Amino acid sequence: MKIIMLGAPGAGKGTQAKKIADKYQIPHISTGDIFRANLKEGTELGKKAKEYMDQGLLVPDELTLELIMDRFKNPDCAGGYVLDGFPRTIPQAEALTKALEEKGESIDFAINVEVPDENIVNRMSGRRACLACGATYHIVHIPTKVEGICDRCGKELVLRDDDKPETVKKRLGVYHDQTQPLIEYYTSQNKLAEVDGTQEMEAVFQNIVKILGA
């Protein structure tokens, strides 16, 4: 079962990807994890990626795709995978489709976790992080025992710049410009399935399980 997760930043697609991976015993593959693994292992592809990253440049689509296709060769991908964070644009999606077709394969589902922008802004602006130990909370959904203080280490919590409403709105703007067209792309391929991401996390997951038919 080969699955792509779509959804705006903060829609909860990463959480759902992990739950799918656990249930179906397939790897949750994120581009960030692939980059980190290749850099750590010092692979040839990792060295190439590092050259761009050291210059503060984006890793080119061709190299990112090469890293992903290389990851698919691992034995744990024999039963499929959940791909999270790629593709983000139509050219990436077309390149992925072509690379899979050359192996006689294709994506089975592109699952879009749909959440209105307003909900995402509210959801993310409620996040709080402990810079000391890395713990994360939410003022509504995962509150601390003492407001503004980390349960784990007792340090003060902060609202990260990434989670501030103005930053979230900018990120959503980029998402709608670049990634939203993927919804049309996978719809045209009869691969797209949408779930209402405003529901409770478990309800969203149960809807995904129904879509996957298992």
Structural domains of the chain, with CATH: 2-27+74-116+170-212 (3.40.50.300)
Beta bridge partners of 138: 127, 142
Beta bridge partners of 112: 6, 194
Q: Which residues of the chain have pLDDT under 70?
A: 214
Count each helix (H run) and each strand (E run) in the chain, helices first.
Answer: 9, 7
Q: Respond yes or no: is residue 155 known to be catalytic.
A: no
pTM here is 0.83
Q: Which one of 13, 48, 123, 145 is the catalytic residue?
A: 13
Reduced to 3 states, what is the DSSP secondary structure of residue 113? strand
Q: Between β-strands 2-6 and 81-84, what pairing exists: parallel, antiparallel or unpaired? A: parallel
DSSP conformation letters of the chain: -EEEEE--TTSSHHHHHHHHHHHHT--EEEHHHHHHHHHHHT-HHHHHHHHHHHTTPPPPHHHHHHHHHHHTTSGGGTT-EEEES---SHHHHHHHHHHHHTTT----EEEEEE--HHHHHHHHHTEEE-TTT--EEETTTB--SSTTB-TTT-PBPB--GGGSHHHHHHHHHHHHHHTHHHHHHHHHTT-EEEEETTS-HHHHHHHHHHHHT-
Q: Respond yes or no: is residue 128 known to be catalytic.
A: no
Q: Return d(Cα 92, Cα 205) in angstroms, integer.
A: 27
Q: Return d(Cα 42, Cα 151) in angstroms, integer.
A: 37
- Structure tokens belonging to residue 159: 């609202």
Q: Which one of 19, 127, 128, 191 is the catalytic residue?
A: 127
Q: What is the DSSP letter of 149?
A: B
Q: Respond yes or no: is residue 23 known to be catalytic.
A: no
What per-residue confidence (pLDDT) applies to 141? 84
What per-residue confidence (pLDDT) applies to 214? 64
Q: Respond yes or no: is residue 171 known to be catalytic.
A: yes
Q: Respond yes or no: is residue 71 known to be catalytic.
A: no
Q: Which one of 18, 48, 50, 160 is the catalytic residue?
A: 160
What per-residue confidence (pLDDT) applies to 36? 86
